[in-house]
Copies of this chain bind each other. A is one copy, B any other.
Amino acid sequence: MEEGTFDLKKFEIQSGLEIDITLKYTLVGEINENKDNCILVLTSYSATHEDALELIPDRETFDTSTFCFIVINMIGNSASSSPSNTLNPFDGPRFPLVTVHDNVRAQHQLITEELGITQLRLVMGFSMGGLQTFEWACQHSNMIDAILPICGAAKVSKHNWLFLEGAKAALRADQKFEGGDYIENPEIGMDAFAKVYAAWVFSQDFFREELYRNMGMESVEEVVSFMKGYFGRREPNDLIAMIETWQSADIAYNNLHKGDFEGALRSISCKAIVMPSRTDLYFRVEDSENEVKHMPNAELRVIDSKFGHVAGSGMDPVGKRGIGLAIKDLLS
């Protein structure tokens, strides 16, 4: 595993601001001589490249040893440029809105200019990684053989936006948050955030059937603790920044597609497997169905799991195997 850093000076984002951006990335495997064995993996909410590596199939499902996985950390995730590691004037709550489109434009420069890759075998990602996957497909369809958005979408839905608005409000309700200029960690707000999120990220069935036991947890309270630990790795401002990236996601919100959502979907000419989870409470199967309907070369393949959104994270064995088989099909 090789880690790298890519700097972009005065990178212009969609809001018109210019900011210095650093992308942290990781290679798993080696880029071959022809540079035609690369799989780009984008990261999910609050996750880093380490979490994204969970998506790489087990050898029994599909041997990927001849490929090179390139995992790029999303802006805001604490590894790449984020409120928590950016200097004045864009530090903390002054970090600007960086859209999914901005992320992908920066990633594209890393892939082409830094790594010299002109064709990607596959672009994939879970959750917000799925948002970035759709954006890649819309902007750079001709340099991609296939995409695999897992529990993601081409656009944030109204309901998803609202769930995020609630989680964000719960975190910010703690006065110690101080509009993002916190002196000490707003622990009460972070606790509320994790509790709100925990009920959304798994499914009702997951709790009814106590499937958390399969993840080594004994009770609902332990699920809450798990989520607190998961988000506790991040600074509150980073959590907020990533949510705002998520809430603004729309493949048509750019100069190329000018608001034409269906047109943007039709432009995705590469092979695609769109992979929602049957029990995901915010990236809904119905939304994926609608996307696939407009994509010329796409298959809808639903993960039949009760893990809710987490089915696509690599933490659910059913989901992980399904993802592995989809990768196999897309690379064959």
Contacts and interface: CB of A to CB of B under 8 A. Distances in A.
B159 A196 contact: no
A191 B172 CA distance: 11
A142 interface: no
Interface of A: 157-159, 161-163, 165-167, 169-176, 188-189, 191-192, 195-200, 202-208, 210, 220, 223-224, 281-282, 284, 286-287
Contacts of A166: 170, 192, 195-199
A110 to B, nearest CB: 35
Closest 4 CB pairs of A and B: A169-B192, A166-B196, A170-B170, A173-B173
A163 B199 contact: yes
Contact of A281 (B170, B175, B204): B204
Q: How many copies does the complex hold?
A: 2
Contact of A192 (B170, B207, B220): B170
A189 B173 contact: yes
Given A157-B204, A282-B204, A284-B204, A173 B199 contact: no
Mostly, the A contact residues are helix
11 contacts: A158-B220, A159-B204, A162-B223, A165-B195, A169-B195, A170-B170, A173-B174, A204-B282, A205-B286, A208-B286, A281-B281
Nearest to A284: B204
A220 to B, nearest CB: 5
Contacts of A189: 173
A191 B174 CA distance: 12
Contacts of A171: 173
Contacts of A173: 170-171, 173-174, 188-189, 191-192
A175 B189 CA distance: 10
A281 B166 CA distance: 16
A188 to B, nearest CB: 5
Contact of A158 (B192, B207, B281, B287): B207
Contacts of A282: 204
Contacts of A196: 166-167, 169-170, 196
A254 B236 CA distance: 43
A208 B287 contact: yes
B208 A157 contact: yes
Given A196-B196, A204-B284, 15 more contacts: A158-B210, A159-B204, A163-B199, A165-B224, A166-B195, A169-B188, A169-B196, A173-B189, A173-B192, A175-B175, A175-B188, A199-B200, A204-B282, A208-B284, A208-B287
